[in-house]
């Protein structure tokens, strides 16, 4: 895979570019974006070697699509139309069902690999790209059986070499699980931030009291609305289900408060402390917990 084209040279695409280039210095990495300013920044940061256009992917060994999921659904069939027979297209979207459906009957479906690297930060754009972002992170691969074996083999080695571990899942299961593990946490952060901002209009000193706990909890509220609104739209059914369960738990907690049942509150929190054991591998890793697409 000597000629790699990245559509969307932001946090995920740019970080992949850094480490792929580090491992494969001979590879030429091309950037494609709607905004020329994005490509200029990517060039200045040495994330890409050259600018390119969509028509240029006819020369690609690999195309990495890292743009909002609604744009991916629209653009993916066109990219597959242009890709050579020995080329591969992968996407890094946070939803998988709609993306896989968009190309399920495409003549070059074998040239597509659906994936979701579970990594990221709350920042976006080329300046957010960092080396080592994917070390120890899980890369969810969907419908691997529909991708030509030789092509998937090359791509999976490329991603394993930047530090990812692979996990295989069907698109429906992926979208259901990711609604709980990622999408709900982003909504919680956005709404916590909104609650505090609304209150701050009347109490100007509230942010003087905000400590590191608040900052870490609300960190995801800095994530890009341009990226996250399409994610919520595509995964609407699953997200609503998670919200209903979350709201039920919040309402129950409020009722315990109203009843002065602090023994029950203690037990609820103690039981929930078990989450530390589940997340221990992430919490003890050098990069800790990451935000994602």
Find the mean pLDDT for residues 84-92.
97
Instruction: Inform me whether the pLDDT recorded for 288 exceeds 50.
Output: no
Q: How far apart are CA 115 and CA 144, in angstroms?
A: 9
Which single residue is written with the structure tokens 């059986």?
145
Q: What b/e readout covers 36-73, taking b as 16+ CB neighbours within 10 angstroms?
A: eebbebbbeeebbbebbeeebbeebbbbbbbbbbbbbb
Instruction: Inform me whether the pLDDT recorded for 290 exceeds 70.
Output: no
Tens digits of per-residue pLDDT, 148-190? 999 999 999 999 999 999 999 999 999 999 999 999 999 999 9
Q: How far apart are CA 159 and CA 118, in angstroms?
A: 12
In which band, very low, low, confident or very high, does the pLDDT at 286 lie, cut at 50, 70 and 90? Answer: very low
pTM: 0.88
Instruction: Inform me whether the pLDDT recorded for 105 exceeds 70.
Output: yes
Task: Kindly list the distances between the CA atom of residue 193 and the CA atoms of 47, 82, 201, 213, 220, in Å, as whole numbers in the listed order.
Answer: 33, 43, 13, 13, 9
Long-range contacts of 251-256 (CB under 8 A, 24+ apart): none
Please answer whether residues 119 and 11 qualify as being in contact, where contact means their C-beta atoms are separated by less than 8 angstroms. Answer: no
Tens digits of per-residue pLDDT, 114-126? 999 999 888 899 9
Tens digits of per-residue pLDDT, 217-237? 888 888 899 999 999 999 999
């Amino acid at each position: 895979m000597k000629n790699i084209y990245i559509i969307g040279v932001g946090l995920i695409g740019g970080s992949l570019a850094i480490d792929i280039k580090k491992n494969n210095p001979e590879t030429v990495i091309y950037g494609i974006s709607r905004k020329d300013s994005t490509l200029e920044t990517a060039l200045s940061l040495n994330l890409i070697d050259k600018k390119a256009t969509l028509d240029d992917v006819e020369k690609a060994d690999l195309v990495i699509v890292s743009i909002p999921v609604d744009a991916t659904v629209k653009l993916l069939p066109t990219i597959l139309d242009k890709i050579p027979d020995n080329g591969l297209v992968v996407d890094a979207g946070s939803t998988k069902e709609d993306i896989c459906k968009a190309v399920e009957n495409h003549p070059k479906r074998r040239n597509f690999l659906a994936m979701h690297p579970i990594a990221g930060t709350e920042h976006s754009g080329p300046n957010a790209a960092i080396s080592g972002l994917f070390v120890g992170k899980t890369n969810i691969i969907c419908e691997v059986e529909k991708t030509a074996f030789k092509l998937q083999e090359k791509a999976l080695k490329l991603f394993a070499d930047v530090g990812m571990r692979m996990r295989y899942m069907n698109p429906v299961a992926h979208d259901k699980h990711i609604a709980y593990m990622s999408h709900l946490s982003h909504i919680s952060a956005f709404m916590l931030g909104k609650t505090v901002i609304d209150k701050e209009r009347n109490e100007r000193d509230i942010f003087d009291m905000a400590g590191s706990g608040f900052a870490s909890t609300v960190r995801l509220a800095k994530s890009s609305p341009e990226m996250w609104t399409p994610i919520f739209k595509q995964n609407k059914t699953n997200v609503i289900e998670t919200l209903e369960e979350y709201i039920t738990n919040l309402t129950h907690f409020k009722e315990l408060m109203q009843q002065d049942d602090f023994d029950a509150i203690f037990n609820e929190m103690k039981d929930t402390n078990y989450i530390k054991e589940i997340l221990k591998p992430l919490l003890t890793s050098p990069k800790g917990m990451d935000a994602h697409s």
